[in-house]
Structure 1
């Protein structure tokens, strides 16, 4: 029987190895509330949220219902949120965190991440643009943003802080000035995008790694080859193990010493995605699955933005 590991963070708090992703842009609040309640009742104790998802009030509603109706306590849950790009200015960081806490109905977060290493113009839309449709950037250096996050830890508003979508050079800039080291980094990782060098770099620095889009975004219609879930090798191993393709992929990533945060609002899928702890992949199966890497990013649209703090001309 495989265990349910977790990652001990800088604070000593433990982050469960699998979390429920709550990004659901096409679903209403009721679907999100249901998904979170189903997920926690199925065993999830880690919820991955963000201000830009625009549904933290729904997640908070679900948490409140679980605490009232079930035996769940706040301390049983590990809740992550993320600072959006328009709030990188140090004087905006605390208020943005407090807004997420208010919406979630919580007094503290377990983990707060800088969502992207790129600042956008403050005080307006989530994606501010000029009349010509050009994205409007902020000149705030994320190093200053990080210092404001450290102050939030001091105040007890969050236990651990971290990064998301940073490359190795950007992580190094944070490590060079950090009074409180980043506990976690969340980056795109799936069968077709192994991201191995960045994973190794971060893990060697003592930073745990969370894989977002771990199933390769099944709804993405732009993938130029067979989707991860339809890979013949994945289906072959799934049939042999008596498991689902999604469970094979998530187990594979967990065995790479990664945290995974699959997202779904379909109750059956939410439950199925958690059922990865009653089997293991052997070394040969792991090696075979590693051959499916194509170094193909799915989040190309955001990665195409050019900015002084967001260079994509380096390997990782």
Structure 2
């Protein structure tokens, strides 16, 4: 009953079941969810999901894997991270793992692979998400005979995994993300609703302004966020890819990976300026990006 953390593309893993970090409506999203749908056959998998939706946060359902190497896809709805109620977030996240494992055992699966649920666009801090995942999984396999893999993909999750769990087997070449040209995705309507609900105390009286996607994006943009998050949003807003930006800025890929992946990392001012040029930012946008990193474009009167 081993539990192994790997750096691997979950859609290529030869296990009995893989887990999709799903939204409650079981709609195809982007990121890992979109990759799973595309690899399985988006039309077939969506039709199977439509028959079982909606589900509650923390619940899971099972569908065939269709074109995937895995026989099944288990769709688990993880929570949007709630800073004001971390206990509830942890309980719901743990439930998503446990319910997925139970479904796997009930369907006679001998192996299952998870992504790090809720650690992407749902905002769950990766170190906390990994702690919840490992606790839930190790408890379950202590009483059940199933091989479990936790497939972390992005560099941040990989670094956290190494720190918490020791050496992690790496199965993906470091150029994989560049070669596949992944783009971050926009929120689905059901995800916007979940985020607004989880962060209601933060948004407070501004909730009346949240009727449109633009309202939510404006609020999110004004939150106190790390430099790397602001940079990634700008890349998306400009319709560019990470590869396009760091190549145009003439920045080493490893440096860009560090900027993108390491929480709290701040590049030097010249690096930020060439990134701004590559992104074709206005002076105001450049100034704002510099301020996120603690710099100023020019002296301002006070």
Q: TM-score range by the shorter chain?
A: 0.3 to 0.5
TM-score relative to the length of structure 2: 0.33
More helix by share: 2
TM-score relative to the length of structure 1: 0.32
